[in-house]
Chains A and B, each alone.
Chain A
Amino acid sequence: MNKESNTILKVKNLNVVLNNEKIIENLSFKVKRGNVLTVLGPNGAGKTVLLKTLLGVLPYEGEIKWEKEIKIGYVPQRLPFIKDIPMSVEEFFKLKEASKEEIKEILDSVGFEENPALFQKRGIGELSSGQFQRILVAWALIKNPDVLLFDEPTTGIDIGGEETIYTLLAKLKEKRNLTILLVTHDLSVVFKFSNFVICLNKCPICQGVPKEVLTLEILHKLYGEEVKFYKHHKH
């Protein structure tokens, strides 16, 4: 069997209810190793809830089946409380029991070229939001996860140089053989970067290869009539 085609996640009839409100209804899908899956939907559609449920931190009904002994890295949307605590970059990584070599290697691979010894002593609070976003990705990559769950990277954020967070992710995916599950409401990301999309607005609306399933009709259903839609013909 070709290992690339292995299913590493199977979700069946997933229902999530929080505070008596149905957030996700009857969602089923599969993820194969090496896929980049985007979860697309308007604000409040349950995208973040889906990621957290897959991560195992929220209660649910139905079936979520990860491949055995899979390692998952999680990149949260933001960490509003982190600046309340004086903490250096190095200490942030040590929370995950990362070794010095690991920290160095990972910071290098997410594109920090500054003197590592100096950089690691810097306070988390002193970083720019772009640098912080990179740090969060790096943090998730410690211990070499198979899967990266990525919650809505702020689009348009300047992470430095010519790179966007997506070109960085694409690079990391190749280098580390990652499977990526990404939450976004940015259509261009879906087309450029992913090979499978789930449209979610509490109920699942569509799923499949982005160019095939994301028709104007589906997008209207997802976002309402106002949506303007540009397909990317870059191939």
Chain B
Amino acid sequence: MSLITGIFIGGAAGYLGTLMLSKRMALVAGPLGHLTLPGIALALLYGFDVSLGAFPFVILGIILIWLFGMRTKLPMEALTAVVFASGVAIAFLFLPIEQAETALVGDITKVGFADTFLVSFLCLFLFLIIKKIYSKIILINISEDLAKSERIEVKKYNLLFLGAIAVVVALGVKVVGGLLTAALVAIPAATSRNLSKNFFQFSLFGLFFGAISSVLGILLSKFLNLPAGPLIILTATLFFLASIVLRKR
């Protein structure tokens, strides 16, 4: 069960990650992930699904970052840092310490059959959405003016894009927890960028490295009896390091 869930979420995160990286916003998933911590804490306290708990907080985070961006001239990084720390701080006010590990680095072993089914379905749906908006978002990332001159509704596509990010982050906390979600999105995409010559490869490798890192991480955790979240991320990092070496063609 956990393997299937991991493959789907890892793949979707890696795939979407390539789009986020091309918009230079791969790190936005970081503060969003951290902001989910209060939601995860609530979910753990009251015994409902962590992704469900995380989701409203991700939406809140996106709205906050968007509002800050409009109201102030601070760079995105500064804004995200504010949101980032606040999320962690709030969560630790009431998060029971014995549950902290699950919240921070995830616990994929907890997924059941219904959960897996739902997640897989959601990820497939997400995949289709991302595929549909992919080339439009790429054009918007290259130049909003150019996109507008092609009569692309930039706002609509950006909104869909942000929505997809929200869902991926909320699902990501299930696998790797609030602290590591950003890495699940960013690392496979960065690896893929090192290895690809065109954006077809870029998106495909992103998906592939996202999925394979999850699988290997989860398998390793079974053998080593260590938490899966950190192992998934470390596997992804290994692939990234390998990609740097391979890049020197």
Contacts and interface: CB of A to CB of B under 8 A. Distances in A.
A56 interface: yes
Interface in B12-26: 22, 24
Contacts of B141: 81, 84-85
Given A84-B22, A95-B138, A95-B139, A76 B146 contact: yes
Q: Which of B141, B143, B146 has the most CB of A within 10 A?
A: B146
Given A85-B22, A95-B135, A57 B142 contact: no
Interface string A56-96: 11000000000000001010100101101111101100111
B221 interface: no
A74 B146 contact: yes
A55 interface: yes
B142 A88 contact: no
Contact of B142 (A74, A82, A123): A82
Chain B: number of interface residues, binned into ranges? 20 to 34
Given A81-B141, A94-B135, A95-B138, A88 B198 contact: yes
B149 interface: yes
A52 interface: yes
Contacts of B139: 95
Nearest to A82: B142
Contacts, number: 62
Contact of A57 (B24, B135, B149, B201): B149
B148 A85 contact: no
Given A56-B148, A72-B149, A94-B135, A81 B198 contact: no
Tell me the interface secondary structure of chain A in the complex.
Answer: mixed
A79 B140 CA distance: 11
A91 B142 contact: no
Nearest to A85: B22
Contact of A96 (B24, B143, B150, B193): B150
Contacts of A72: 149
A76 B148 CA distance: 12
A76 B144 CA distance: 11
Interface of A: 52, 55-57, 72, 74, 76, 79, 81-82, 84-88, 90-91, 94-96, 121, 123
Q: Closest 5 CB pairs between A and B?
A: A88-B198, A57-B148, A74-B149, A85-B22, A95-B139
28 contacts: A55-B149, A56-B149, A57-B144, A72-B149, A74-B146, A76-B143, A76-B145, A79-B142, A81-B24, A82-B143, A84-B24, A84-B141, A85-B22, A85-B138, A86-B196, A86-B197, A87-B138, A87-B198, A87-B199, A88-B197, A88-B198, A91-B198, A91-B199, A95-B135, A95-B139, A95-B142, A121-B197, A123-B197
Interface of B: 22, 24, 135, 138-139, 141-146, 148-150, 193, 196-202
Given A55-B145, A86-B201, 10 more contacts: A74-B146, A76-B146, A79-B143, A81-B141, A84-B141, A85-B138, A85-B199, A86-B197, A86-B199, A123-B198
